[in-house]
Structure 1
Amino acid sequence: MTPDQKDITVRPRLRLSVVRDTCIIATLIVLGLYAGANFLIPLAMALLVNVLIIALSDRVVALTRAPVWLANVAGVTVVLAGLFMIMYVLGSQATQFARSISTYENQFDGAVERVTGLVGNDVTTFIRDNLVSIDMSYVARVLLGSATSLLNQFFLISLYVAFLMAERLAFRKKIQLAAGNPVAAAEFSTMLDAISVSLQRYVGVKTLISLITATISYTVFRSLGLEYAETWAVLTFALNFIPSIGSIIAVFFPAMIALVQFETIIPFLVIVLGCGTIQFLIGNFLDPAMLGRSLNMSTFLVILALTFWTTVWGLIGAFLSVPLTVCILIVFSHIPALRPVAVLMSLDGRLGEDNSQAAAS
């Protein structure tokens, strides 16, 4: 028997039972995520808010040398106040906008006629045939209803955040006691540190970029006199957390409202060209420059994660798709059996430790 034949005989084969068990476990996880959405979504939001608070408090300590407890209080106050204001603006105007959406639907035919001279009859016919069939009131209820539901869960999220912050320092000690093995405890702590650093960078940078985009867009909306300018600015801020399609939606809705509200097509063009250009420049230049390759996620994986989490958790899942997938990628990279999967999920095949070693060399 040749050496090659020996290698073939001793090479482990993928057993049908392993595939079966993997499919069963994956199915149960997906069903659990779907069935437990009411419990898991506030918890996931609280963990993400907690990461943002930690990032902000650490920055306050680094800049001002303030005590840790004071920085934590400042971080909690700023983040929760900002989150409450976002939810309040969306929730308070949700009912009013849903009631007035029928008025916009009645004015839609006149808006389509104004587009005819700009794009031609063929494109206008396509717009009329496809957009008229869309139930705009349903779309408004879905988008703004999610924000209202989140407003109702704000106090639950705040409660989670309070306890997470209270146990921030004691958590590492509990990890060491629970692991028992110092090596396992160190490995688990390393994994949590990698997750925390990646999430802090992502949430911090995306929050800053979304705030800049929303501020510029709000200035444009107010200068044009667009109705519900605050709502569209807040939605612009929130939708920028949704990869790829979020910026498109953030321009589409205020542009459609401007097309219906105003007698001329100029405000519509200003929003499409002005805000669309801002979204393009920020999304393709500022965002990659500030985030860099720290997330190291495949572009296809980003779209796949967006589709999966939106299917499982709806609109909130779209917001959480990238952070949740980053956590999964980092966890897989620290499990030897799942490390090949993490390599396939990454952008360039290098994981966190590989990038660190390459930078050191």
Structure 2
Amino acid sequence: MEIKLPTYLKCIAILMGLLLLIYFMQLFKAVLVPLAFAMLFALLLLPLSQNLERLKLPRALAIMFSLIVVISILGLVIWFLSAQIMSLTSELDKIGQNIDELVIKVQDFLYQKFSIPPSSRTDLIRDSFGNLREIASSLLQGTISTTTGALAMLTIIPIFIFCFLYYRDHLQQFMFKFVSKDRRSGMMQTVSNIQTVVQSYLSGLMIVIVIVSLLNSMGLLILGVKYAIFFGVFASILTIIPYIGILIGAMLPALFTLAATGNLVDALLVVGVFSFVQFLEGNFITPFIVGSKVSINPFAAIIALLLGGEIWGAAGMILSIPLIAMLKVLFDAYEPLEPFGYLLADIDDLKSQKSGRFNKMFDKLRNRAKKQGQEIQE
């Protein structure tokens, strides 16, 4: 018998379920985060693996070849960034001297304009910027710690990807066990929609990263910024973190330029370059490449970004958009949850869908009127 509960008990049960889910996600973060990344990459590599299998290549070899391609590309990017960071650290002493001169200029300006007496340069530099060696040491320790954790994840994620791709037929049969035969076609359509959304987002994101890195690097090279290619590529990679990544990517080269040249105008020009590229990326590049397949409104994206960062840290911020896009597909496919899918949808996309439906209905009415007119003439 179906037990009917009051509305307030249902709300309490839903809230308790959400709290338990968040606690579960935080408790098993070490396993769930690599699984989530592996699932996304498996969906991205699935077409390549299937094409290789159609060429009579065994599934295991096809998956291994796909993984080697991805790992090689990521290895080249990591090698380039590491080499640039090592070269950048060699200029810390020069940057420290420039910061010292910049502080003197600021103190003289404040004293001349506002009669604020200058404080001890040594104390001010230590209080405002900290000791450069300590900053470099802490940065190095944090980098080593992060790299160690990333290497641990990088060793387990390819294994998960291989298992997802190799046992995909088995996983499909596993999902069939939960639904009746008459609903399996609908379930496979939903899975296909999820795969399309994820592939569209990830492949489009990679193309956007390449284009944005070229634009950033060109702008910085025109301004004569040192390590322009490094800052351009690094800022474009940070775009995988929506809204926040581009801010961090613009601040680093701006602060470096300010510390290296001591000229505020140069730093503002760097910010202007990144702002212009961000305008192009948000209004033209991403909408044209990714399209409307990942149609999440900005408010829902920001909430997902904050929740992902709170639950899983930086990894959660990266995973937030593709995961919420997958949830929207599930919400749209399951009738009781359609209101939540509507809540997550982009308003412009809903307007285009409504206009498309109106045009289809108008075409049907017009064709019907033409047929009736032809029958009357006959």
Q: What TM-score range do you get, normalising by the shorter chain? A: 0.7 to 0.9
Report what 1:8 is aligned to.
none
Matched letter for residue 332 of structure 1: F
Cα deviation for residue 185 of structure 1 reads: 2.5
Q: 1:239 to 1:132 in 2, by over 3 A?
A: same
Matched letter for residue 175 of structure 1: M
Q: Say which one has the larger Rg.
A: 2
Residues 328, 341 of structure 2: 8 Å contact kept: yes
Pair 1:47 & 2:39 matched: yes
Report what 1:208 is aligned to.
207
Alpha-carbon distance between aligned partners in 2 of 1:196 and 1:232, rounded to the nearest angstrom:
33
Deviation track 1:222-275 (CA, whole Å, cap 9, x = no partner) reads 673524x56534432321112122222211111111211235456534422223
Q: 1:260 to 1:67 in 2, by over 3 A?
A: farther
Report what 1:302 is aligned to.
301
Report what 2:76 is aligned to.
85
Matched letter for residue 197 of structure 1: T
Pair 1:132 & 2:116 matched: no
Matched letter for residue 309 of structure 2: T
Report what 2:99 is aligned to.
108
Alpha-carbon distance between aligned partners in 2 of 1:342 and 1:36, rounded to the nearest angstrom:
27
Deviation track 1:79-105 (CA, whole Å, cap 9, x = no partner) reads 222223334455676688689768756
3-state SS of the aligned residue for 1:179?
Answer: coil
Alpha-carbon distance between aligned partners in 1 of 2:179 and 2:11, rounded to the nearest angstrom:
32
Report what 1:6 is aligned to.
none
Kindly report which structure 2 residues correspond to 1:1-361, keeping only aligned pairs within 5 A, or say none: 15-55=7-47, 75-90=66-81, 104=95, 107-111=98-102, 132=128, 146=146, 149-176=149-176, 178-179=177-178, 181-221=180-220, 224=224, 226-227=226-227, 231-265=230-264, 267-348=266-347, 358=357
Cα deviation for residue 151 of structure 1 reads: 3.1
Q: 1:338 to 1:98 in 2, by over 3 A?
A: farther
Question: Structure 1 stretch 341-350 or stretch 107-116: which is displaced more?
Answer: 107-116
3-state SS of the aligned residue for 2:277?
Answer: helix
Question: Structure 1 stretch 252-261 or stretch 341-350: which is displaced more?
Answer: 341-350
Matched letter for residue 217 of structure 1: N
Quick one: percent identity of the two aligned structures?
Answer: 20
Residues 63, 162 of structure 2: 8 Å contact kept: no
Query: For this pair of structures, how many residues does the alignment match?
Result: 336
Cα deviation for residue 322 of structure 1 reads: 0.4
Long gaps (5+) in structure 1 = 1-11, 123-127
Long gaps (5+) in structure 2 = 115-123, 362-378
Q: 1:192 to 1:274 in 2, by over 3 A?
A: same
Q: 1:349 to 1:96 in 2, by over 3 A?
A: closer
Matched letter for residue 294 of structure 2: L
Residues 208, 289 of structure 2: 8 Å contact kept: no
Cα deviation for residue 159 of structure 1 reads: 1.2
Alpha-carbon distance between aligned partners in 2 of 1:307 and 1:328, rounded to the nearest angstrom:
16
TM-score (norm 1): 0.75
3-state SS of the aligned residue for 2:313?
Answer: helix
Alpha-carbon distance between aligned partners in 2 of 1:79 and 1:141, rounded to the nearest angstrom:
28
Cα deviation for residue 287 of structure 1 reads: 1.1
Cα deviation for residue 16 of structure 1 reads: 2.1
Cα deviation for residue 187 of structure 1 reads: 2.7
Alpha-carbon distance between aligned partners in 2 of 1:284 and 1:350, rounded to the nearest angstrom:
15
Deviation track 1:168-224 (CA, whole Å, cap 9, x = no partner) reads 344434433x23511332232222111110111111111101111113323455673
Q: 1:314 to 1:134 in 2, by over 3 A?
A: farther
Matched letter for residue 307 of structure 1: L
Report what 1:4 is aligned to.
none
TM-score (norm 2): 0.72
Residues 45, 157 of structure 1: 8 Å contact kept: yes
Residues 259, 265 of structure 1: 8 Å contact kept: yes
Alpha-carbon distance between aligned partners in 2 of 1:236 and 1:148, rounded to the nearest angstrom:
22
Cα deviation for residue 22 of structure 1 reads: 0.8
Matched letter for residue 152 of structure 2: N
Alpha-carbon distance between aligned partners in 1 of 2:354 and 2:79, rounded to the nearest angstrom:
42
Q: 1:277 to 1:356 in 2, by over 3 A?
A: closer
Alpha-carbon distance between aligned partners in 2 of 1:235 and 1:66, rounded to the nearest angstrom:
37
Q: 1:211 to 1:169 in 2, by over 3 A?
A: farther
Question: Structure 1 stretch 291-300 or stretch 107-116: which is displaced more?
Answer: 107-116
